[in-house]
Amino acid sequence: MLLDTPICDFGWQAPDFTLKDPDGQAYSLADALGGKGLLIAFICNHCPYVVAVAERLAQDTALLMDEGVTVLAIMSNDYRAVPTDSPANMKKFAAKFGFTFPYLVDEDQSVGRAYGAVCTPDFFGFDGQGGLQYRGRLDDARMGDASHRTPELLNAMRAVAETGHGPKEQHPSMGCSIKWR
């Protein structure tokens, strides 16, 4: 089912969490906050919308991380119902697309629910204190044609890193629904 994300609720505070990657390494919101901002991307392995943007996501986030923005990806789907999204497959997916950010398993789906994630991909851009400044799409490219694009997420997170504020105009991300238990 195709869904759009809600509009940005500027200043909404990121709920705390601690999640592990497929290898068991733990990451927390408290450790990720600070500096020039935090991007949290709710993604999965099987969604055609995520697959379509995965390479660009890897490139844009590598730039952001080089500029001091922390990036975490979270997989909240019920991978027992969708085995393609299993932790073992998350590792393969991350390697295939060259993700350099932690890709975390939301085993009990509590983080996805706390954030109000609705689809994959669903991007949350926070300032250094955990206030929401961006909830939009990766870019304006059409499915299958990224030859001309405006990197909206990259530009927004650069603005957050510089000024602490995201752009007033934001376009919702769209994708596949989170597969809840």
Would residue 123 count as lying in a domain?
yes
Domain that holds residue 68: 2-15+38-177
Would residue 100 count as lying in a domain?
yes
Give the pLDDT of residue 137.
96
Sheet bearing 119-120, strands edge to edge: 2-4, 174-177, 119-120
Omega of the bond prior to 121 within 30 degrees of 0, cis?
A: yes
Beta strand 119-120 with 122-126: parallel, antiparallel or unpaired? unpaired
In the chain, the number of structural domains is 1
- Blockwise average pLDDT, block size 10, the chain, 181 residues: 80 98 98 94 97 97 98 98 98 98 98 97 97 97 80 98 96 95 95
Would residue 29 count as lying in a domain?
no
